[in-house]
Amino acid sequence: MLRRELVTGFLLGCILAAVGMARVFLWQFLHLFGQNGYGSNYGMLSMTIGISLVCVVLWGSLVGAMLPMFLRLIRLDPAACSAPFVATLVGVTGIVIFFNIAKYILHL
């Protein structure tokens, strides 16, 4: 099951990353001479968004699949507990993942 979640999360993350990166490039090229563009570092910004989306979606799918098993192991009801735990855990760690990736890629 872990392998299946890894593949599914990675593929979904890649699709969302492609959409996010295409949005940055499209917005940059539509506003090439305007003030609404991303500046000269739009490629690095696009890469940051893409890598972050892959990592966050992969992490979310793994947590969503494994947390109910862990809750069952410690004798809690997975149906009642997993949704709030998954949403909170993935939300908070998603922000941490994004900022750490941005720190390493965008170290200007």
What would the DSSP string read from start to end of 73-88? HTT--HHHHHHHHHHH
Q: Is the pTM of this model over 0.85?
A: no
Distance separating alpha carbons of residues 96 and 52, to the nearest angstrom:
10
Number of domains the chain contains: 1
Contacts of 51 (CB under 8 A, 6+ apart): 17, 101, 105
In this model, does residue 33 exceed pLDDT 70? no
- Looking up residue 84, the CATH number of its domain turns out to be 1.10.357.20
Mean pLDDT, all residues of the chain: 87
pLDDT, position 31:
76
Q: What domain range includes position 81?
A: 2-105
In the predicted structure, residue 79 carries a pLDDT above the cut 70: yes
Residue 10, pLDDT score: 94
How confident is residue 108, by pLDDT bands cut at 50, 70 and 90? low
pLDDT band at 32 (very low <50, low <70, confident <90, very high): low
21 neighbors 43 (Cβ within 8 angstroms): no
